[in-house]
Amino acid sequence: MTRPLTYEDVGTYPLPGTAAPTRVAFSPSGEHLTYLFSGAGSLVQSLYAKPTAGGPAEVCVVPPGAGDTEAGLSLEEKLRRERLRERGLGVTRYAWAKDSERLCVPISGAVYVQDGVGGELREVVPKAAQPALDARLSACGEWLAFVREAELYVVSASGGEPLQVTSGARGTGKTHGLADYIAEEEMHRHAGYWWDEAGERLAFTEVDETHIPEYRILHQGSDSVGEGAEENHRYPFAGAANPKVRLGVVARTGGEVTWLDLEGEEYLARVQWLPDGRVLAQTQDRAQCLLRLFAFDLGSGQRSELLRETSEVWINLHDMLRPLGEGAGVPSEAQGGFLWASEASGFMHLSLRAADGSLVRELTSGEWQVDGLAGIDSEAGLVYFTATAADVREQQLYSVSLAGGEPRRITQTPGLHSVTLDVKRGQFADLCHSRAQPPRLTLRSLTDDAELAVLHEGSADPRVAELDLSPPRMVTLSAHDGTTLHAALYEPEGQGPFPTVVNVYGGPGPQRVQESWGMSVDLRSQLLRQRGFLVIRLDNRGSARRGLAFEGAIKHDMGDLEVRDQVAGVEWLVEQGLADKERVGIYGWSYGGYMSAMALARAPEVFKAGVAGAPVTHWDGYDTHYTERYMGTPQLNPEGYERSSVMAHVEGIKGALLLIHGLIDENVHFRHTARLINALIRARKPYELLLFPDERHMPRGVADRIYLEERIAAFFARELG
């Protein structure tokens, strides 16, 4: 027997079947597979280890003390969790030293080290008033680096007094060794320092934001005032100044810094060391239509350009630059070279590069994209990667020879495969899920995909069987100009036409219609379906994994084509007899909140009610790297910015509008909703407002999330019922 969903079901994490292993890794010896997991099915995780030769998985690190709540976290740690979109508690991060059976486990501002899965957990850096941030072991495992009070420190992994190896940032508004907001939030570069292979030197960033005006956020729901009840953020608004970032190299023992030449480069996107001791850096220009890869001479700090990428659309950053080893399978012309990925063809594909950056050969091609580089077997001359070749809504594992040839598909089960490889032993960990299957972690053979062991079955969660979670139906339809669009339908029982709700994100980046368990545990859509609403998710143009032409169709003009594609989806539903055209609503968060408001304003004949959560209402109020990638700067594209703001179209709103925002949202500031409210007042347009005084961009409080779901469901029941 199944039961209907409740608001508590929808607002409580983890969702059914999703308490799955995360941060899966093989120990350097290959003897264990480790991962974070909650045996109780909660958000509080421990570190587990399973012998790859056989035997049960066992807990090897549990969170000591009060590591199972956010209560004791510093503001810096809470903001870092926001950038990482991290909900888990307890042990939330860990890492093996690259060449040593030693673990680094940071918990609640302290840092612990453990030798092997059976070793004793030792506190190396105690918790202090100022937290130790981004702790990481050197490759050999002998040294531990971390950042505290804006400076970089190194300490022996055996314990002792940490040595401060950088200076001059503390108290000045600068930082050493930390990624800035733009790098973390938009470039997905969460590191601000990098160990060399020998553990003797560290490359690190110096970030200067002192020239950026402070943006103050008050904790209006706080019981106190003053310190602790307000935050100041150096937020780089579109068209304004960016942080000034320098890249330096310092010895593990401190001393003089070698500053590397980044003159003229707007964004430092990626940094890594090569085995030969060179530092590589990827940079972007302000327009993000030029990416350059530099190698640096550490003696002089001077640079040489290995390659450059240009685009008439924009450059999407990736993490697929990988140095090649000197194995027998590496072609002679590529010795000392590297793998690279590029969208020059319109789709992200892999190529083999020589040491000087010149092209040796393209490894993949076609109207599909490579999602990620999974591993390299330099002895066999094979590259392993995940891609959309089988279906743009799936992610499968493939291999291709460094000598060229057709890729070979390895994983066969439909769905999304997140893989971790142990190439030396010919095996991989596969976390696979689909609409019909919750996340399932297995150990498999790289040769033939044979199942070697089962580590986790998401279907064991009793809520999977208890709740009525019918997988949505995948459909394909056409935009007004014939472009193929993918959608998913949550269909209620009975005969249509039904009151209909569009579940939208709509912005560049996420693809939301996938062969994924996340589709089936979209519990808000499922609750609305159970209450008689038809819900549609549709990936409009601008969304990812369909190639640059599909993604770049919205360049310099947001909130127009995306809305028209969503309208095409509604019209298709009406033609099918599924949607009642007089009772259509829309909801979304962040870019989806923007889309909800724009849909009401630009297509009022279609949308009768909308929920706009944390909406970006005018792009001049969002950050540089994200906004300018798609819109250019306000100075160069003033008409586009005006046309793409919700406020420019407020007069068109006829339907009911519910605005939702967290008052301490440091990503999409409440100012966005406040500016829209001013425009609504001037236009004498009615609106409803739901505020969460203690929430940021991603609501975390359980009571807040449950109340949020209750209000959204009640809004649509009233307006479309």
Q: What one-character-per-residue DSSP string does 167-198 give?
A: -S-TTTTEEES---HHHHHTS----SEEE-TT
pLDDT-above-70 percentage for the chain: 98
- pLDDT value of residue 314: 98
| Mean pLDDT, rounded, of the chain | 95
- Note the pLDDT tens digit of each residue in 333-366: 999 999 999 999 999 999 999 999 999 999 999 9
CB contact set of 223 (below 8 Å; sequence gap of 6+): none
CB 92 within 8 A of CB 109: no
Q: Which 3-state string (H, E, C) describes 582-606?
A: EEEEEEEECHHHHHHHHHHHHCCCC
Q: H or E segment at 323?
A: strand 322-323
Residue type at position 80: R
Question: 518-551 in b/e burial notation, b at 16+ Cβ within 10 A?
Answer: ebbbbbbbbbbbbeebbbbbbbbbbbbbbbbebb
Is the pLDDT at 140 greater than 60? The verdict is yes
Question: Is residue 590 annotated as a catalytic residue, yes or no?
Answer: yes
Higher per-residue pLDDT: 87 or 311: 311
CB 506 within 8 A of CB 554: no
Q: Band of the pLDDT at 326, cuts 50, 70, 90?
A: confident
Is the pLDDT at 685 greater than 60? The verdict is yes
Mean pLDDT computed over 81-85: 70
- Note the pLDDT tens digit of each residue in 18-29: 999 999 999 999
Catalytic hit among 371, 422, 623, 665: 665
- pLDDT value of residue 43: 85
- pLDDT value of residue 455: 94
pTM higher than 0.75? yes
- pLDDT value of residue 300: 80
- pLDDT value of residue 72: 60
640: left (phi over 0), alpha (psi -120 to 50) or beta: alpha
Mean pLDDT computed over 666-681: 98
- pLDDT value of residue 299: 82
- Note the pLDDT tens digit of each residue in 516-552: 999 999 999 999 999 999 999 999 999 999 999 999 9
CB contact set of 646 (below 8 Å; sequence gap of 6+): 559, 594, 597, 598, 601, 615, 617, 618, 676, 679
Q: H or E segment at 710?
A: helix 702-720
- pLDDT value of residue 291: 98
CB contact set of 673 (below 8 Å; sequence gap of 6+): 612, 614, 615, 617, 659, 661, 689
- pLDDT value of residue 69: 55
- Note the pLDDT tens digit of each residue in 458-497: 999 999 999 989 999 999 999 999 999 999 999 999 998 9
Mean pLDDT computed over 605-612: 98
- pLDDT value of residue 161: 96
Q: Which 3-state string (H, E, C) describes 525-594?
A: HHHHHHCCCEEEEEECECECCCCHHHHHHHCCCCCCHHHHHHHHHHHHHHHCCCEEEEEEEEEEECHHHH
CB burial class (10 A; 0-12, 13-18, 19+) of residue 701?
A: middle
Residue type at position 121: L
Q: Band of the pLDDT at 76, cuts 50, 70, 90?
A: confident
Is the pLDDT at 149 greater than 70? The verdict is yes
- pLDDT value of residue 65: 62
- Note the pLDDT tens digit of each residue in 194-217: 999 999 999 999 999 999 999 999
Catalytic hit among 590, 596, 644, 645: 590
Question: Is residue 665 annotated as a catalytic residue, yes or no?
Answer: yes
- pLDDT value of residue 80: 67
Is the pLDDT at 302 greater than 60? The verdict is yes
Residue 501's CB: how many other CB atoms inside 10 A? 28
- pLDDT value of residue 68: 54
Is the pLDDT at 393 greater than 70? The verdict is yes
- pLDDT value of residue 224: 84
Mean pLDDT computed over 124-129: 92
List strand residue ranges (DSSP E) for 338-394, in order. Answer: 338-342, 349-353, 359-362, 370-377, 382-387
Mean pLDDT computed over 373-394: 97
Q: In this predicted structure, which of 281-285, 322-326, 452-456, 692-696 has the lowest mean pLDDT?
A: 322-326
- Enter the tokens of residue 136: 């990481």
